[in-house]
Amino acid sequence: MKIKSFTALILAVLLNLNLDLNLASAAAPGLADRVIEHKLANGLTVLMVERHQTPIMSINMTFGVGGINEQVGQTGLAHLYEHMAFKGTRMIGTKDYAKEKPVLDELFRVGTELEERLRDLAKRDPERPPDAHEQEAIAALQQRFKELQDQSVQYVAGNEVALLYQRHGGIGLNAATGKDITRYMINLPANRLPVWAAIEADRMANPVLREFYKERGVVMEERRLRNDDSPNGLLFETFTSAAFRAHPYGVPTIGWESDILSLTPAATAAFFKTYYGPGRATIGIVGDINPKEVIALIENTFGKIPAAPPPPQVVTTEPPQRGERRVEVEFDAEPSLAIGFHKPGLGHPDDYVFDVIDGILTDGLTSRLYTKLVRDNRLAASINSDSNYPGVRAPNLFVLNATPLAPHTTAEVEAAILAELERLKTEPVTAKELEKIINNLDADMVRALRSNSGLASQLSLYQTVAGDWRYVLRSRDRIAAVTPADIQRVATQYFTKSNRTVATLVKKVSAKQVATVPQSEVAR
């Protein structure tokens, strides 16, 4: 019955619009002229580009919400909601929502009460154990929770969002959460746009947090895999936390373990209502489309969703760093190194200079650090840099990350990196190097915008983080205008010891290994 209802929804959308799918070809000469922008009354922004080479389209829906919007004690909410968004709605993902809803409501109430009691118990003095009455109450809640979990499973139509897209030819269904944004993407046959609009408008308006506790457990396992049990993940989590004392960029996007385990359905639902309104969303659609028909379709589906009040702004700013910070992470893995310097965020004039420095140092086999550390001196097995870590909307970090090549050490690699940074302060970069940077930038832009999915991604990204998709075009000219003097000035201003954070992954020495070291060596 439920599948028929969803099919009826799609048919209703088609009938209301009387869509004509015989699309015309585009004739506009350049990207700036070909992007068609439309903003709904509820704040939703749609960016469209016609490309009629093949009868397919790529869609990227980007929300201006991420880890930066979370509060202490609720870290990981944005990432958890990304997972929950695939659990469906009142019509998708359920066999009978009318019967499922009261079970879920009771499950969430019992689950929240049970976890609160268990947390209170964990904080209690060990010498004051729970009495018989408390033990009975907790046991009763645990039993009821299990019963409700079992009941709720009966109504779940598993993975139905993905299966619906698959039945209609969709590929590349995916999502991602970062510090600044959350994204949902899909590629579909051009004549399946009404299917997409019906699904996504429903997901935006009527999400249901079914299988909440199961999915929260999945996120917890993901954290263990990517952060706790990953040497590189743990290194960067520790490094980032050391670099940011106040700003939420210092908190891992996936969340802290204790926070993930305490996230509740109520908190997750409240987070969604606060940050996922249509005014926070930009939809990029590129491919075999007719923009007028796309606008009519989106007005008829997403346009019915009420506008949401503006969410609270992030007011915390990172205070200036007043001294080098150094941290070590012990792990049974080969050593590695991360070095970061605070810098301005997107749109600041110096941000473009850091993009050029990034290219000079590590972009390609002829870049300075690759040539010196990897190819010539064989100090490092790898070297890379990032000019906007871990986000772009707020002041962030310029980061260098390297893995020493045995028998060389992280100290040797660090010294070599710092020497190259000092060189940027004293020696003007050559015209040839700058020309190579612009050539590589142009090539990267062509690659990023060549595919439908790449262009949809870039348009929605920059509309969200910069407030205007045209940033992707303007930034090229701003980067091309960077001079050797700009590079020297920025390197001198930002690449200082007091502005530096260094994290080193050191191989953990076991107690057995320590015991076998001669006492004479220990004394040294």
CATH number at residue 187: 3.30.830.10
Q: What mean pLDDT do residues 40-61 have?
A: 97
Closest by alpha carbon to 374, among 442, 325, 420, 319? 420
| Residue 243 reports pLDDT greater than 70 | yes
Q: In the chain, what are the helix, strand and coil shares in percent, each to the nearest 5? A: 55, 15, 30
Residue 208 shares a structural domain with residue 341: no
Residue 33: the pLDDT is 86
Distances (CA, A) of 240 to 237, 310, 342: 5, 29, 11
Domain that includes residue 143, residue range: 2-10+42-126+135-222+254-304
Residue 206 shares a structural domain with residue 349: no
What one-character DSSP code corresponds to residue 192? Answer: G
Q: Give dist(CA 122, CA 129) in Å, integer.
A: 10
Residue 283 shares a structural domain with residue 344: no
Residue 520 domain-assigned (yes or no) = no
Angle separating helix axes 97-123 and 265-275, nearest 10 degrees: 110
Residue 363 domain-assigned (yes or no) = yes
pLDDT digits (tens, 9 = 90+) for 219-235: 999 999 999 999 999 99
First to last CA, the chain: 77
Q: Give dist(CA 131, CA 162) in Å, integer.
A: 48
Question: In sequence order, what are the residues at sequence separation of 6 or more whose Cβ sits closer than 8 angstroms to the Cβ of residue 434?
Answer: 356, 482, 484
pLDDT-based confidence at residue 503 (cuts at 50, 70, 90):
very high
Q: Give dist(CA 344, CA 334) in Å, integer.
A: 32
Helix (H) or strand (E) holding 47: strand 45-50
What one-character DSSP code corresponds to residue 523? Answer: H
Residue 511: the pLDDT is 56
pLDDT digits (tens, 9 = 90+) for 112-171: 999 999 998 888 887 778 888 889 999 999 999 999 999 999 999 999 999 999 999 999
> Structurally, how many domains does the chain consist of?
2
Residue 337 shares a structural domain with residue 296: no
Residue 261 shares a structural domain with residue 386: no
Residue 516 domain-assigned (yes or no) = no
| Residue 470 reports pLDDT greater than 50 | yes
Whether 335 and 410 have beta carbons less than 8 Å apart is answered as yes
| Residue 459 reports pLDDT greater than 70 | yes
Residues, the chain? 524
Helix (H) or strand (E) holding 345: none
| Residue 524 reports pLDDT greater than 80 | no
pLDDT digits (tens, 9 = 90+) for 289-317: 999 999 999 999 999 999 999 999 999 99
Q: What mean pLDDT do residues 332-357 have?
A: 96
Q: Give dist(CA 242, CA 235) in Å, integer.
A: 11
| Residue 496 reports pLDDT greater than 80 | yes
Residue 119 shares a structural domain with residue 178: yes
Closest by alpha carbon to 400, among 429, 421, 424? 421
Quote the mean pLDDT of the chain.
91
* Order of strands, sheet of 56-63, starting from the edge strand that comes earlier in the sequence: 36-39, 45-50, 281-287, 56-63, 182-189, 171-177
| Residue 335 reports pLDDT greater than 50 | yes
Q: Give dist(CA 496, CA 183) in Å, integer.
A: 36
Residue that is last in its domain, among 272, 304, 336:
304
| Residue 32 reports pLDDT greater than 90 | no
Residue 265 shares a structural domain with residue 335: no
Whether 312 and 65 have beta carbons less than 8 Å apart is answered as no
pLDDT digits (tens, 9 = 90+) for 174-226: 999 999 999 999 999 999 999 999 999 999 999 999 999 999 999 999 999 99
Q: What is the pTM of this model?
A: 0.90
Whether 299 and 366 have beta carbons less than 8 Å apart is answered as no
Q: What is the CA radius of gyration of the chain?
A: 26
Residue 247 domain-assigned (yes or no) = no
* The two three-digit tokens of residue 340, written as one number: 């970061």
Residue 263 shares a structural domain with residue 344: no
pLDDT-based confidence at residue 516 (cuts at 50, 70, 90):
low
